[in-house]
Amino acid sequence: MDILEILGYFGALLIGLVLGLIGGGGSILTVPVLVYLMSINPVTATAYSLFIVGSSSLMGAGRNLQKGLVGFKTALAFAIPAVITVFSTRKFVVPALPEELFTIFGFTVTRDIGIMLFFAILMLFASVSMIYDKKELLEKQEKPKSANYLLLAPLGVLTGFITGIVGAGGGFIIIPILVLLAGLKMKKAVGTSLLIIAINSLLGFLGDLGHQEIDWIFLLVFTGISILGIFLGVYLNKFFDGGKLKKAFGWFVLIMGVYIIWSELY
């Protein structure tokens, strides 16, 4: 086991630790850890990420279920079109992507580079979401009298496509949608989003079975370490200011996103 692989397993612990400390965001590190530290190709890394993110989110969703902070009707309205899209994207779209996507100014964008660049852009958006705390702003928004299910479905499809391509849960996209269009309070939106992410990710992962070679021992060990990190983070959470940690982590994600873009292009 070389130094990068050891750092990769520490990365697994960090993913869970962040999830436990600030309630989300850590899963955005999964693909970079798998690609740059564990030397796994991006397509396989996004598949593994779906399983890891889904398992971690399921843990969080379970805690919120006990507290009554999950809107089942809203979750299903959003998750059904989303999970169909995630599964279809993993089963049909990703395997059909050509090795070379396009060439611009003499630079050939391969499938792996394209996936990592798309992921890095997602990281930049996620980092802004963490740095700029939108919780107060969302809570002040006038809530609709009833959920707008006509808009929830197509937005579920869009979120499902993004999740399918990059293997990330997309909580920073889902939560504002649930607050603004489904009329959920912030805490319930967070709990509901975790259930949606768990459903999307775990069922979407099934789309990879059959055409992806899965190293189950590695995947289960990595996931187990991440879940251990969640329990550690939940315990340590009482000693830290979650808001400040979230902003600090947001800056870290921003730097990581810029680094990925630089490393893939240069």
Query: Among 34, 26, 40, which residue's Cα sits nearest to residue 7?
Result: 34
The region, left, alpha or beta by phi > 0 then psi within -120 to 50, assigned to residue 11 is alpha
pLDDT at 140: 58
Query: Among 104, 220, 118, 117, which residue's Cα sits nearest to residue 161?
Result: 118
Among 63-67, 158-162, 169-173, top mean pLDDT goes to 158-162
pLDDT at 64: 82
Question: Is the confidence at residue 9, as pLDDT, over 80?
Answer: yes
Residues 228-257 have a mean pLDDT of: 88
Residues 90-98 have a mean pLDDT of: 94
Distance between CA 159 and CA 182 in Å, rounded? 16
Look over the chain and give the mean of its residue pLDDT values, rounded to a whole number: 89
pLDDT at 35: 96
Residue 83 binned pLDDT confidence (cut-offs 50, 70, 90): very high
Among 22-31, 80-89, 177-186, 208-217, top mean pLDDT goes to 80-89
Q: Which residue would you say has higher pLDDT here, 211 or 12?
A: 12
The dihedral through the CA atoms of 199, 25, 126, 62 has a sign that is positive
pLDDT at 210: 82
DSSP code at position 209:
B
pLDDT at 119: 94
Residue 141 binned pLDDT confidence (cut-offs 50, 70, 90): low
**Look-up of token digits 């400040």:** 244
In the chain, what are the domain boundaries? 3-265
Residues 150-168 have a mean pLDDT of: 91
Residues 2-26 have a mean pLDDT of: 88
Query: Among 13, 3, 10, 15, which residue's Cα sits nearest to residue 168?
Result: 15
Pull the structure tokens for residue 124: 């930049």
- Asked if 224 contacts 13 with a C-beta cutoff of 8 angstroms, the reply is no
The rounded percent of the chain whose pLDDT value lies above 70 is 94
Geometric angle at alpha carbon 9, from 6 and 12, rounded to 5°: 155
Question: Is the confidence at residue 254, as pLDDT, over 80?
Answer: yes
Residue 18 binned pLDDT confidence (cut-offs 50, 70, 90): confident
- Asked if 58 contacts 198 with a C-beta cutoff of 8 angstroms, the reply is yes
Q: Look up residue 61 and give its amino acid.
A: A
DSSP code at position 104:
E
Distance between CA 103 and CA 113 in Å, rounded? 12
The region, left, alpha or beta by phi > 0 then psi within -120 to 50, assigned to residue 160 is alpha
pLDDT at 122: 92
Residue 16, number of CB atoms within 10 A of its CB: 26
